[in-house]
């Protein structure tokens, strides 16, 4: 693949988890140089050590932008786990305060509204925001069953119920998923994220067939940031919560550490299913 040398430095604004490192590795394999800005409190400096990088506070927008520009970055990927800070925790620097003013009300809206505004502002400042899936195409969740265990009729009914609930959550820009057991919604995802939601479910499960975690994109979601992401840790959380399956939107979710996630699921008898929400009944 030919590389445009004028755009060969990819900037990665990295939160926690393995996905920023996977994006960096894929970019390097494609012939791109990489520079990472790790967000303090989320990205681990030791994990970023093999890559050209610097650390910055999430509110230090001026420093982040200066770092990217100094490296000749034009293309940027926003990837990794980040817990959204409150305004007083953000402590924006001067540039950060200006950006918040440009973002306006979206700064206090749902995550997708905020990220959409951030992408727009970065574009106005001369950056092109790429989705992680545009760099790491193989991480997009595939369609179909990935495991030895398969969903039965009850599980498929729970998935349909979960899709209906998750769509409503997404329309309100609240979350991307929920857990359903025997038609009952045990938990919905909000600001706490998937792992914390699964931890809550352990004490909510009912007798009988276990529940299903369902993850889909929000309607009209800004796909260049915050696609639903699942991985080995998600599977561990589902197993600990007594679930019997994880269902996710094929082509609309990122499946990190696929081989490890599938191996863990197979060992526990849990199914992993990529599906098309358009083909799932309303339930």
pLDDT score, position 123: 83
Instruction: Identify the helix (H) or strand (E) that includes residue 263.
Output: helix 258-268
**How many structural domains compose the chain?**
2
In contact, 210 and 181? CB cutoff 8 Å = yes
pLDDT score, position 219: 82
Q: Give how far Cα 283 sits from Cα of 72, 83, 86, 279, Å.
A: 50, 32, 37, 12
pLDDT score, position 175: 83
Q: Which residues pair with 38 in a beta bridge?
A: 14, 55
pTM of the model: 0.76
Q: What is the pLDDT of residues 202-228, one digit of tens each?
A: 889 899 999 999 999 888 776 777 678
Task: For residue 102, give the CATH number of its domain.
Answer: 3.40.50.20
The residue segments making up the domain with residue 30 are 5-137
| Same domain assignment for residues 147 and 271 | yes
Domain boundary among 72, 107, 137: 137
Q: Among residues 190, 167, 193, 189, which one has the least CA distance to residue 178? A: 189
pLDDT score, position 282: 45
pLDDT along the chain (283 residues), means of 10: 56 89 90 93 93 91 90 91 64 74 60 64 86 85 96 97 93 89 94 89 90 91 76 95 96 88 97 93 49
Angle (deg, nearest 10), helices 232-240 and 194-201: 20
Task: For residue 171, give the CATH number of its domain.
Answer: 3.40.140.80
pLDDT score, position 142: 93
Burial class (CB in 10 A: 0-12, 13-18, 19+), 102: middle
């Amino acid at each position: 693949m030919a590389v445009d040398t004028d755009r060969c430095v990819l900037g990665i604004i990295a939160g926690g988890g393995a996905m920023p490192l996977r994006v960096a590795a894929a970019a390097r394999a494609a012939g791109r140089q990489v520079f990472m800005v790790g967000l303090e409190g989320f990205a681990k400096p030791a994990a970023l050590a093999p890559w050209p990088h610097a650390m910055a506070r999430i509110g230090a927008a001026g420093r982040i932008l200066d770092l990217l520009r100094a490296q000749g970055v034009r293309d940027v990927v926003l990837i990794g786990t980040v817990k959204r800070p409150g305004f007083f925790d953000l402590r924006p620097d001067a540039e950060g305060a200006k950006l918040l003013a440009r973002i306006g009300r979206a700064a206090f809206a749902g995550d997708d509204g905020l990220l959409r505004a951030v992408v727009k502002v970065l574009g106005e400042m001369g950056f092109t925001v790429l989705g992680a899936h545009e760099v790491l195409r193989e991480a997009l969740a595939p369609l179909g069953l990935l495991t030895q265990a398969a969903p039965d009729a009850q599980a498929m009914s729970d998935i349909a119920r979960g899709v209906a609930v998750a769509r409503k959550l997404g329309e309100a820009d609240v979350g991307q998923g929920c857990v359903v057991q025997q038609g009952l919604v045990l938990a919905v995802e909000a600001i706490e994220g998937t792992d914390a939601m699964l931890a809550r479910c352990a004490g909510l499960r009912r007798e009988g067939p276990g529940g299903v975690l369902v993850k889909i994109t929000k309607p009209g979601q800004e796909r260049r940031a915050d696609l639903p992401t699942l991985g080995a840790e998600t599977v561990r959380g589902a197993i600990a919560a007594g679930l019997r399956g994880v269902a996710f939107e094929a082509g609309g979710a990122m499946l990190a550490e696929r081989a490890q996630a599938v191996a863990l699921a197979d060992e526990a008898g849990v199914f992993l299913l990529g599906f098309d929400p358009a083909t799932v009944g309303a339930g």
